[in-house]
């Protein structure tokens, strides 16, 4: 068995180890190694496996080869040499050198792996620098790098040059203090950033922000918001990254807005005082007017009673000596006096509504409607009127005012259905605009919808007195009562379908903690 080492073979092994670094790809390294190992005496077959990952599989056929040399470092394995040798022992002298070759290949793989990682990191750094540079140059606000010691500009973007009204190269030949307006002092960037750092959390950084007045090349002032942060350069020196945003027009607009708000506040205060004065004057005038109306109406009762009474006496005592025309005239005088008395009563009621103190309590509107209907039937027993009253209509209100309201509405319905042999009147409730509305509906003569709003004005009548007698004040009382109770009142009259009068009342307060109205049932639909 020969153990002599061939110097030429060793020389080729060492020279080939030096050539490995020059091969650019892994496939070329594998091919080169297989050619080199095939020249070693005693090697019958050679396979080289290099994987980028430790988990790369080795072909199963290679496992049957009788010598496997791992290509590995302390950190990881990169593959191996797989050799089939003869039995002559001629390979034995070269085994140490082949093992060293495997180690050299492992180091080569490790170096290339580290180089690839470094190049990738450098690529990310270059891309980041390119992004920062593009962001710096294209930023919509002014940005500048200032040397901490001298205050000179190292680099400025177009936005900064535009803000100060100078060219970029001109600005870079200046220092920070030269841009400050003569009437203002250039801020101390070091002091600003030191104060911001002192307020920052441990290990953190905080940018300082302040308003600064700068001067453009043409001398015009420009107010900017300056944001500054201290930075550490690669050489260890300190720099300031400054950002400036022109807020001249914004602050002028804010001052103008503040002046307008102050003027508006003063105007509102003056207006509130005037409204309060006018409200007090109007309240006094209304009180005086109501007192006057009450006094006049009350004082008219005595002469009206005298006119009616004496006319009645004349008719009773002297009917046989009076002419037919005279008796008819006296009858008209009595009717007019009685109508005037009813009108005075309604006017007194209209005036009294504004002075009444509201006595809030749960009112059973259905029961009130039934009581009013009973009085109407008693006063006019010959009429056949079907009245349908929805039960359970309960709502917080003043019982006296509700009774007066329903007396007027149901009385109107009774009156305007007098020409119907089989009249029908309804009272009930329905949902309307998120609240509950109550209604009185009839199948009487109705009215022209065009004049619906006139119905609620005092003395406005849509029918003649001889057709349907009345004072013309009843619906004005209804609207006044609805308003006093925090609601609304309106009327509808579809052609040929009678009339419907609606009214709402103030929303009841919910029981504490429940959101449920006290004692109020759900309304029905009409």
- The CATH code of the domain that includes 239 is 3.30.450.20
Shared domain check, 94 and 31: yes
- 403-427, pLDDT tens digit by residue? 989 998 998 899 888 888 889 999 9
Shared domain check, 335 and 363: no
In the block, tokens 């409607």 appear at 369
Shared domain check, 110 and 19: yes
* Domain harbouring 287, CATH code: 1.10.287
- 146-176, pLDDT tens digit by residue? 887 777 888 888 888 888 888 888 888 887 7
The half-sphere exposure of 364 on its side-chain side, counting CA atoms within 13 A, is 10
Expressed as residue numbers, the domain containing 319 is 267-348
For residue 381, pLDDT beyond 70: yes
Shared domain check, 365 and 497: yes
Task: Give how many domains the chain has, as a whole number.
Answer: 4
For residue 268, pLDDT beyond 50: yes
Shared domain check, 234 and 159: yes
For residue 518, pLDDT beyond 50: no
Shared domain check, 280 and 223: no
In a domain, 260, yes or no: no
Beta strands in 339-471 (DSSP E): 361-364, 385-389, 394-397, 423-432, 435-442
Shared domain check, 500 and 363: yes
Q: DSSP for 13-31?
A: HHHHHHHGGG--SHHHHHH
* Domain harbouring 486, CATH code: 3.30.565.10
Shared domain check, 209 and 151: yes
- Report d(CA 446, CA 397) in Å as an integer: 28
- Report d(CA 172, CA 150) in Å as an integer: 12
In a domain, 146, yes or no: yes
Which of 94-103, 291-300, 401-410 tops mean pLDDT?
401-410
> pTM value?
0.43
In a domain, 218, yes or no: yes
- Asked which of 118, 152, 178 is the last residue of a domain, the reply is 118
Shared domain check, 195 and 145: yes
Shared domain check, 371 and 494: yes
- 464-491, pLDDT tens digit by residue? 555 556 556 778 889 988 999 999 999 8
Strands 153-156 and 499-504: unpaired
CA nearest 12: which of 44, 35, 43, 42?
35
In a domain, 516, yes or no: no
In a domain, 170, yes or no: yes
Shared domain check, 216 and 151: yes
For residue 62, pLDDT beyond 60: yes
Q: DSSP for 53-85?
A: STTPPPPGGGGGSSEEEEEE-SS-EEEEEEEEE
In a domain, 376, yes or no: yes
In a domain, 38, yes or no: yes
Shared domain check, 331 and 414: no
Q: Looking at 319-383, list the stretches that DSSP marks H as alpha helix, in order from N- to C-terminal side.
A: 324-353, 365-379
**Cβ-proximal residues to 389 (8 Å cutoff; 6+ apart), any chain:** 366, 369, 370, 373, 426, 427, 428
In a domain, 125, yes or no: no
């Amino acid at each position: 068995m020969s153990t002599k080492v061939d110097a030429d073979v060793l020389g080729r092994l060492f020279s080939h180890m030096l050539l490995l670094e020059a091969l650019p790809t892994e496939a070329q390294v594998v091919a080169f190694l297989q050619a080199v190992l095939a020249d070693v005496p005693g090697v019958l077959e050679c396979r080289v496996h290099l994987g980028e990952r430790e988990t790369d599989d080795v072909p199963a056929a290679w496992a049957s080869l009788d010598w496997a040399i791992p290509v590995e470092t302390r950190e990881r394995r990169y593959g191996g040499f797989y050799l089939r040798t003869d039995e002559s022992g001629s390979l034995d002298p070269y085994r140490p050198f082949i093992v060293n070759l495997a180690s050299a290949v492992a180091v080569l793989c490790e170096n290339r792996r580290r180089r690839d990682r470094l190049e990738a990191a450098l690529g990310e750094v270059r891309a980041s620098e390119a992004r920062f540079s593009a962001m710096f140059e294209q930023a919509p606000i002014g940005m500048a790098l200032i040397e901490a010691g001298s205050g000179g500009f190292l680099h400025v973007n177009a936005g900064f040059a535009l803000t100060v009204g100078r060219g970029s190269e001109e600005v870079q030949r200046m220092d920070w203090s030269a841009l400050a307006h003569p009437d203002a002092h250039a801020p101390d960037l070091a002091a600003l950033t030191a104060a911001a750092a002192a307020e920052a959390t441990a290990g953190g950084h905080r940018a300082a922000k302040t308003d600064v007045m700068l001067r453009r090349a043409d001398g015009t002032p420009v107010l900017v918001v300056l944001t500054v942060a201290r930075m550490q350069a690669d050489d260890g020196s300190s720099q300031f990254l400054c950002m400036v945003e022109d807020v001249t027009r914004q602050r002028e607009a804010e001052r103008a807005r503040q002046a307008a708000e102050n003027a508006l506040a003063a105007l509102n205060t003056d207006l509130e005082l005037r409204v309060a004065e006018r409200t007090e004057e109007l309240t006094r005038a209304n009180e005086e007017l109501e007192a006057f109306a009450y006094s006049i109406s009350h004082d008219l009762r005595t002469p009206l009673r005298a006119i009616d009474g004496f006319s009645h006496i004349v008719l009773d005592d002297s009917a046989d000596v009076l002419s037919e025309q005279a008796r008819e005239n006296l009858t008209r005088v009595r009717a007019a006096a009685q109508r005037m008395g009813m009108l005075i009563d309604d006017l007194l009621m209209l005036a009294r509504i504004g002075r009444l103190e509201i006595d809030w309590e749960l009112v059973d509107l259905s029961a009130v409607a039934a009581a009013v209907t009973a009085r109407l039937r008693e006063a006019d027993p010959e009429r056949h009127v079907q009245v349908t009253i929805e039960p359970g209509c309960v709502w917080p209100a003043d019982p006296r005012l509700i009774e007066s309201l329903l007396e007027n509405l149901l009385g109107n319905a009774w009156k305007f259905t007098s020409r119907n042999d089989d009249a029908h009147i309804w009272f009930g409730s329905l949902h309307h605009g998120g609240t509950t509305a109550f209604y009185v509906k009839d199948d009487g003569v109705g009215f022209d919808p065009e004049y619906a709003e006139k119905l609620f004005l005092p003395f406005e009548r849509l029918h003649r007195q001889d057709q349907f007698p009345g004072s013309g004040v009843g619906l004005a009382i209804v609207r006044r009562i609805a308003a006093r109770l925090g609601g609304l009142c309106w009327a509808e009259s579809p052609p040929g379908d009678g009339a419907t009068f609606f009214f709402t009342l103030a929303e009841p307060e919910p029981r504490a903690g429940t959101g449920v109205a006290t004692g109020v049932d759900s309304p029905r639909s009409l």
